[in-house]
Chain A
Amino acid sequence: MELWEYPGWRIAQFVSRKELSVEDVVRAHLGRIALCEPHIEGLITLMEDQALERAKKLDISIQKGEPLPSPLCGVPVIIKDNMCFQGAPTTCGSKMLENWHPPYNASVVEYLEDAGAVILGKANMDEFAMGSSTENSAFGPTSNPRNLALVPGGSSGGSAASVAAGYCPLALGSDTGGSIRQPAAFCGVHGMKPTYGLVSRYGLVAFASSLDQIGPFARDLGDIALALDVISRKDPRDATCFPKKEGRYLDALERNSLRGLRIGLVKEYEGEKTDPRLATSVIHAARICQDAGAELVQISLKNAISYGLACYYIIAPAEASSNLARYDGVRYGFRSDAESLLEQYCSTRREFGDEVKRRILAGTYVLSSGYYDAYYLTAQKMRERIQQEFKQAFKDVDALLMPTTPTLPFAKGSVTSPLEMYLQDIFTLPINLAGLPAISLYAGMTEDQLPLNVQLTGPQWSESTLLGIASILENAFGTPSIAKGCDA
């Protein structure tokens, strides 16, 4: 077994027992990146020198017998390029921030480094996290490591591809409407979006602030739990961050029975909207849960599935249009030269990509005078209705089981209509609207080796329950292997 094939928790064990040096671990992963990256193009910035320097420092401190950082000592991590990391640009996949060097680290970066992780690079993404295929990056698309002709999903496509290809056992992404779970599903790895408020967004470039949440990708559920343990810390620098948790998430994986749990199957998620192979995965997963002692219940989420998309595509662009107003070419980022300040604003902002422009304009429209009540206020009411609907469901069940995506990964360039692209998120975005936690789990492969998925969601702060159910499912479906398509 190669070093880059191990899960992160195993690497941390090797390192802390001095069976491996951090430098060896980092070099092995950098080698893997060098081999695959020309085909996958999952990274915007590779931080080879910084990573090696940090590895050597950790090794020296281990040699000296100093107290070891834990629980990710020596674990290589890749972060989405919308999280601030000092010493490298944070581009958000946009020309607007191509050369922007943040003055501080994101809180999650601080937490990862405190835990001993080594950050290897910044992952490609749809510009400002708007997209479901990573084709909207100003720095070119990323390929799906499972099949290079396919998209990796998005917007955190680079993070998902990095984990699937063995660049790192663990990556971070952000999820506003499905941007962790959908790429995890497409690349055949696990990805978790925590409860809104569990993880600090300090240093995460804002897209839609009432929806954005940071979460982990991994091939091993143990790594998902460890990462969540590390990043779920109360942070006074993010007023929305107030994690409620009991005990370690890692301990939640010890579960060997689901007796006493009620799991809901959402009937609206069945039917013609879903690829039959994914519908079958859900049935398969439901049987596994039942065999482990869970009781299955049919649940209806009529509002979430009928109106979630409309509600989301009013609220998210509204928030984006105000969050992205700051890119005016004055204080940082790209600036276009012009005769007057107004012209400078307009010509600077011309450099946004097409999808970002669409969302800024849609958001400006729904917030504009005369339309606010008809759109934004109506959507906010629907959001409340959807939240109530989930609350009602969770009076009856402990978790809900459904597909992450309506389709299997599609070919690059094949989805050209923005609205068709938005449909990718119909199963994920209602969960963001309600602020709930959810995990997309690898659920095996189709006959033609495309990754299958299932999604679990539960009430606020139910991460431990979800991880417990996920561990039972992982035992049955198996952990995802590393995609070796570009090894030959």
Chain B
Amino acid sequence: MPEVTQKDVEHIAQLARLEVTPQEVEDLTKYFAGILFHFRKLEEADLKNLDPFGIEEAEARPLREDVLHAENWRESILREIPLREGDYIRVPRIMKEE
């Protein structure tokens, strides 16, 4: 398990769509060193013959029927939109202008 560098932290933050300050990058790099120390302990464990997604229990759970239930939430959901124009959500430009 390799170390996580400041550059890695910046890359991960970008993947997570999270703006981080230089101070945060420094703190997070130290944090990663700390948790990786714990994660490395897993390398010594015997993990042979294990199903990583042992879901016998989950399979026993019945699925509900795919039926539409009319709920009267439309307006209360729309009301929560931070930037709204009529029934539309307004977002900033996605593509840059050429």
Residues on A facing B (Cβ under 8 Å): 100-101, 103-104, 197, 236, 239-240, 242, 303, 306-307, 309-311, 313-314, 321, 325, 328-335, 338-347, 349-350, 352, 354, 357-358, 360-362, 364-365, 368, 374-375, 377-382, 384-385, 387, 417-419, 435
Task: Given the known inter-chain contacts A360-B18, A378-B42, please indicate yes or no for A103 contacting B92, CB distance below 8 A.
Answer: no
A374 to B82, CA, bound (A): 39
Tier of interface size on chain B: 35 or more
B residues less than 8 Å from A104 (CB atoms) = 71, 73
Task: Given the known inter-chain contacts A345-B17, A347-B19, A381-B47, please indicate yes or no for A362 contacting B96, CB distance below 8 A.
Answer: no
Q: Are A333 and B82 in contact (CB under 8 A)?
A: yes
Q: Are A419 and B73 in contact (CB under 8 A)?
A: no
A residues less than 8 Å from B76 (CB atoms) = 101, 103
Q: Which of A101, A310, A328, A345 meets B38, CB within 8 Å? A: A310
Q: Are A385 and B45 in contact (CB under 8 A)?
A: yes
Q: Which of A197, A349, A368 meets B12, CB within 8 Å? A: A368
Q: State whether the Cβ of B83 lies closer than 8 Å to any Cβ in chain A.
A: yes
- Chain B's nearest CB lies how many Å from the CB of A375? 6
A residues less than 8 Å from B89 (CB atoms) = 330-331
A residues less than 8 Å from B94 (CB atoms) = 340-341
B residues less than 8 Å from A357 (CB atoms) = 18, 20, 24, 28
Q: Which of A329, A333, A341, A345 meets B93, CB within 8 Å? A: A341
A residues less than 8 Å from B13 (CB atoms) = 361
Q: Which of B31, B34, B51, B82 meets A334, CB within 8 Å? A: B82
A residues less than 8 Å from B20 (CB atoms) = 350, 357
A349 closest partner in B (C-beta): B18
- List 15 additional A-B contacts (Cβ < 8 Å) besides A310-B42, A365-B32, A387-B54: A103-B73, A309-B38, A314-B39, A331-B80, A332-B80, A332-B82, A344-B91, A361-B32, A374-B1, A380-B52, A381-B50, A384-B54, A417-B34, A418-B34, A419-B35
A residues less than 8 Å from B8 (CB atoms) = 365
- Chain A's nearest CB lies how many Å from the CB of B83? 6
B residues less than 8 Å from A330 (CB atoms) = 81-82, 89, 91
A311 to B39, CA, bound (A): 7
B41 closest partner in A (C-beta): A310
A residues less than 8 Å from B46 (CB atoms) = 385
Q: Are B42 and A307 in contact (CB under 8 A)?
A: yes
- Chain B's nearest CB lies how many Å from the CB of A386? 10
Question: Nearest 7 CB-CB pairs, A to B?
Answer: A335-B82, A380-B52, A332-B80, A103-B76, A346-B19, A345-B17, A364-B16
A357 to B9, CA, bound (A): 12
A349 to B53, CA, bound (A): 31
A240 to B18, CA, bound (A): 31
Q: State whether the Cβ of B70 lies closer than 8 Å to any Cβ in chain A.
A: no
A325 to B24, CA, bound (A): 20
